[in-house]
Structure 1
């Protein structure tokens, strides 16, 4: 039923909670878990929508000596390479955490919800499992929600996992 499961992640604690559900479904159906991170090219900083692994940083600002912030005069293209490395570390860490199932990791660039939907279509995904912060009201509309956009426009079922009260962001 669910042979190809997609888990888009931004490396946050909320995504970790959803990863547990994605792993359980992949184990139950003997499926393959696709772990995806998207480098958000809509950001003026060409950053991720993600937290960097272990750093707590969004990866959107050049934090290391000698690195220029993307978009500045004298831009250093190593920023993009650094962001890609962080994204690869996020998907690799998620794959290591679910070593009981077959995994495929990927890092894509683009508009996050569109890149997720494109990946799902290109890889015959049967189910998408995503975390959500559970924002409501004006906060949800002002910040936008990648998960909400995927839910509204996906051709395949989407399981959303809300960050629980005992969990941290």
Structure 2
């Protein structure tokens, strides 16, 4: 039975869809949802940091509201570093049963050059990962 679900968020539409899916998965077992925002390690400068801090605060507040509305337990965390590694490390350290995360639907050269956080998380996670595709 799933008792602890991790859903990473950056406030994007795909991550919001993932939170909605995590809530649906959590309801039957009354699982706790852990919401994690990771500020990428490449973020430099006071202005960039301030923008990320605001984005993360908004993303976490939105997630908290969605989860509270369903009466589920909620935990949140903010980390800095390589995003996929921080997701997997957090999941391992907190005995997470399932990771639910959105995909941004990137393809082609952009995905090849930049890489996909979701793909890297799937490849390195010892914990099952459910991916939620972008809305068509």
Q: What is the SS of the residue equivalent to 2:33?
A: strand
Structure 1 unmatched runs, 5+: 47-69, 71-76
Pair 1:39 & 2:39 matched: yes
Instruction: Kindly indicate whether residue 7 of structure 2 is the aligned counterpart of residue 19 of structure 1.
Output: no
- Local SS of the residue matching 2:127: coil
Bigger share in helix: 2
Measured on the aligned residues, the alpha-carbon RMSD in Å equals: 1.7
User: Map of 1:69-108 to 2, 5 A cutoff?
Assistant: 70=45, 77=46, 80=49, 83-99=52-68, 100=70, 101-108=72-79
TM-score normalized by structure 1?
Answer: 0.73
> Are the equivalent residues in 2 in contact too, given 1:92–1:105 (CA < 8 A)?
no
In structure 2, the residue corresponding to 1:98 is in which secondary structure?
Answer: helix
Structure 2 stretches of 5 or more lacking a match? none
User: Residue 109 of structure 1 corresponds to which residue in structure 2?
Assistant: 80
Secondary structure of the residue aligned to 2:74 is: strand
SS in 2 for 1:39: strand
Count of matched residue pairs: 134
Which of these two proteins has the greater Rg computed from alpha carbons? 1
Q: What TM-score comes out, normalization by structure 2 length?
A: 0.90
